[in-house]
Amino acid sequence: MAKKKIDLEQILIGLSSDEARARAISKLIRKGDLPIPKISWVIEYYEKAGRFYDAADIALKAGMNERAVEDYEKAGRFDDAASVALEAGMKERAEQLYQRAVEDYEKAGRFDDAADIAFKAGMKERAVEDYEKAGRFYNAADIALEAGMKERAEQLYQRAVEVYEKAGRFDDAASVALKAGMNERAEQLKTLVDLINE
């Protein structure tokens, strides 16, 4: 039995709205047989509606990386834009976008997110600073150690131990103390954990 020829254009015209057509085309992009004008129409439809994230997502699925970067940037999704730019070989643009993402998260007081992106982008000193501001001393210490900032790492491990102790997380405090070479403190904390668990 021969396969029935499908008239996609007729099906799309029959849909009740541009939104429905945009959604249908968006779902069909993964199939790979859509003409570029159809994909471009959806991207432009979302851009005109101010839905830049959706436009970027469609552009990315269609392999239109530069357009995806532009739309993620317009959506304020600098981390996503940077990731796509990096994968597409736009290293300098990616660095600028990662920088912007870190700055935006810092301005918003979201130091955890800023540190994660800074680390991902290779900005180790900035990541250490932001993890410290977020109170994630253990993460800050690990990165400081990796970046060759041994003295700073020791101070941050010390702070991590103190935070874990204050939170009653003596087992974690012992592990960090041991990693930091604070062997006597680690032994005392392990003894305390053993006493608690008896």
pTM of the full structure: 0.75
Which spans in the chain are helix H? 8-14, 18-28, 36-48, 52-61, 65-74, 78-87, 91-107, 111-120, 124-133, 137-146, 150-166, 170-179, 183-197
Q: Cα(16)–Cα(144) distance, rounded to whole angstroms?
A: 57
Q: What percentage of the chain has pLDDT greater than the value 70?
A: 96
Per the document, the length of the chain is 198
pLDDT in tens, 98-121: 999 999 999 999 999 999 999 999
CB atoms within 10 A of CB 33: 7
Q: 150: which residues sit within 8 A by CB, 6+ positions away?
A: 144
pLDDT in tens, 66-100: 999 999 999 999 999 999 999 999 999 999 999 99
pLDDT in tens, 163-180: 999 999 999 999 999 999
Structure tokens given for 177 = 């103390």
Taking the CA of residue 99 as centre, how many other CA atoms within 13 Å lie in the half-sphere pointing to its CB?
Answer: 6
Mean pLDDT within 13-39: 81
Q: Pick the residue with more confidence: 18 or 66? A: 66
